């Protein structure tokens, strides 16, 4: 059986189209780059100011001035370029990023997203997340379906402070693929072995069930 | 070298630091300390210049970038987009020792740019429907709602460049550019720490990123 995270990032990767400009969030979304279908070539944007984000450098080859948005050493691919932060966020806000993939603490049926703070516990700051979610053409949330305690993260209404409202398009979890529509969250695909009842039981929002549901693999 | 471009702005670190004062608002370039003028930051710590309002994207790490100013308790107020990589900032914030104003990163960059380019503000969709919109004017243009965000200036900007000529024309390296070019235009006094200082006229005009007219002092990094 495929590990849950691998299942998620593999499916997210299949949403990406040849030529897309993509921003991948820190953590699980970063793994998406390793699972691109053959013949799909994308340009990765990094909010700290470059296009052409490449893989982790070989041992001993790290450049102190080449990091990703999480501070990890990375590389710049041939053809990549560097720019200032205003340009970087102009690229984001101006609609030049086709897809933003990021994690979530909570998502709700209106497409609201909360992923930047937990009052009283965790206040790291929003960094570039609010701009990315508001600015990218398509926002894909890639996350585990429930919290570590097994509580739903896909809610009727987010309880945590929002990152952006009405901006999420697609939710991919280890249980299935969902699309946020004006009517609510539509279940598009199920992971192998998961039933409609299973996924609904772990989801607070009422899922809209179409006649045909695809398979996530 | 003709006219004004003859001006040489290279000063000693001591001379540059003598312009920094208790209680000032200081912008500092850098993203997770990449592009931060560490020598100047260390100078602030040596001289114990405190009570500062610091504008930087983030508070980096406890031993790097503006994070060192947090650890040394020299910051009264921090304005930026992220404090998560430096646990000391959160600790001081919860203890009421430092005030933190969080701004979405793109809005932060553009507010600084606005101050530098003479805009009275700008309209952005970022932060709509979140705590960021609190107290801000909403303006509708062609059926879309935006937040009005205002310019952000400082008394001093401390920047990092890879190369400067003696007039202050700057070239950055890789991801060390980030907020530096905007900050160069948005402060009363602009001090640059450069890894390499070259004679004016030796940089290719096409490759200069920040025009030297914005720069007041250059210190060798």
* Chain B partners within 8 Å of A135 (Cβ): 106, 125-126
Is A76 in Cβ contact with B32 (below 8 Å)? no
pLDDT band at A197 (very low <50, low <70, confident <90, very high): very high
Q: Looking at the domain assignment, is residue A67 inside a domain?
A: no
Q: Looking at the domain assignment, is residue A88 inside a domain?
A: no
Smallest Cβ distance to A71: which of B85, B90, B124?
A: B85
Number of domains in chain B: 1
Which pLDDT value is given to residue A57? Answer: 95
Which pLDDT value is given to residue B1? Answer: 63
Give kind and range of the element (H or E) at residue B145: strand B144-149
Number of domains in chain A: 1
Q: What are phi and psi of B109, to 5 degrees?
A: -60, -45
On whether any CB of chain A is under 8 Å from the CB of B170, the answer is no
Q: Sign of torsion, CA B14 B15 B20 B22?
A: positive
* Chain B partners within 8 Å of A122 (Cβ): 84
Number of A–B residue contacts, CB under 8 Å = 140
Smallest Cβ distance to A124: which of B83, B128, B173?
A: B83
Which pLDDT value is given to residue B2? Answer: 67
Kindly report, residue by residue over A19-59, the tens digit of the pLDDT. Answer: 999 999 999 999 999 999 999 999 999 999 999 999 999 99
Whichever domain contains A184, its CATH number is: 3.40.1080.10
Q: Looking at the domain assignment, is residue A179 inside a domain?
A: yes
Q: Looking at the domain assignment, is residue A70 inside a domain?
A: no
CA–CA distances in Å: residue B13 to residues B19, B39, B101, B130, B166: 10, 8, 30, 43, 15
Which pLDDT value is given to residue B4? Answer: 78
Q: Whole-angstrom Cα distance, residue A10 to residue A189?
A: 14
Structural domain that includes position A43: 4-47+95-215
Q: Looking at the domain assignment, is residue A180 inside a domain?
A: yes
Which pLDDT value is given to residue A63? Answer: 98
Of the candidates A55, A66, A67, A51, which has an alpha carbon nearest to the alpha carbon of residue A31?
A55
Structural domain that includes position B66: 3-220
pLDDT band at A109 (very low <50, low <70, confident <90, very high): very high
Which pLDDT value is given to residue A136? Answer: 98
Which pLDDT value is given to residue A175? Answer: 98
* Chain B partners within 8 Å of A114 (Cβ): none
Residues of chain B with pLDDT under 70: 1-2
Whichever domain contains B38, its CATH number is: 3.40.1080.10
Is A63 in Cβ contact with B109 (below 8 Å)? no
Q: Which residues of A are catalytic?
A: 47
């Amino acid at each position: 059986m495929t590990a849950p995270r691998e299942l998620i990032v593999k499916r997210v990767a299949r949403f990406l189209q040849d030529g897309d400009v993509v921003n991948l969030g820190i953590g699980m979304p970063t793994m998406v780059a390793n699972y691109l279908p053959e013949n799909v070539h994308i340009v990765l944007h990094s909010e700290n100011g470059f296009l052409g984000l490449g893989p982790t450098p070989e041992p001993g080859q790290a450049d102190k001035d080449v990091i990703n948005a999480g501070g990890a050493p990375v590389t710049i691919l041939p053809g990549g370029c560097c720019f200032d932060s205003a340009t970087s966020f102009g690229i984001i806000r101006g609609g030049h990023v086709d897809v933003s993939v990021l994690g979530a603490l909570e998502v709700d049926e209106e497409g609201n997203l909360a992923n930047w703070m937990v009052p009283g516990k965790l206040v790291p700051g929003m960094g570039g997340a609010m701009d990315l979610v508001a600015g990218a053409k398509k926002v894909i949330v890639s996350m585990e379906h429930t919290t570590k305690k097994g509580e739903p993260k896909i809610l009727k209404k987010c309880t945590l402070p929002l990152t952006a409202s009405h901006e999420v398009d697609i939710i991919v979890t280890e249980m299935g693929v969902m699309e946020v529509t004006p009517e609510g969250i539509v279940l598009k695909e199920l992971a192998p072995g998961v039933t409609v009842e299973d996924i609904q039981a772990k989801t607070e929002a009422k899922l809209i069930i179409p006649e045909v549901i695809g398979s996530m693999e | 070298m003709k006219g004004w471009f003859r001006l040489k702005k290279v000063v000693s670190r001591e001379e540059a630091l003598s312009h920094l004062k208790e209680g000032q608002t200081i912008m500092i370039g850098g993203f997770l300390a990449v592009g931060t003028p560490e020598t100047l930051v260390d100078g602030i710590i040596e001289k114990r210049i405190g009570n500062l309002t610091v504008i930087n994207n983030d508070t980096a790490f406890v031993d790097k970038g503006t994070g060192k100013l947090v650890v040394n308790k020299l910051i009264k107020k921090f304005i930026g987009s992220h404090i998560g990589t430096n646990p000391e900032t959160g600790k001081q914030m919860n203890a009421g020792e430092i005030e933190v104003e969080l701004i979405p990163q793109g809005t932060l960059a553009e507010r600084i740019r606005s101050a530098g380019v003479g805009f009275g503000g700008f309209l952005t969709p970022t932060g709509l429907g979140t705590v960021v919109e609190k107290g801000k004017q909403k303006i509708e243009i062609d059926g879309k709602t935006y937040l009005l965000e205002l310019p952000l200036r400082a008394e001093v900007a401390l920047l990092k460049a890879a190369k400067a000529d003696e007039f202050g024309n700057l070239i950055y390296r890789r991801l060390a550019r980030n907020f530096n070019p905007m900050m160069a235009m948005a402060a009363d006094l602009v001090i640059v720490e450069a890894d390499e200082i070259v004679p004016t006229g030796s940089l290719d005009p096409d490759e200069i990123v920040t025009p030297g007219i914005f720069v007041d002092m250059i210190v060798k990094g």
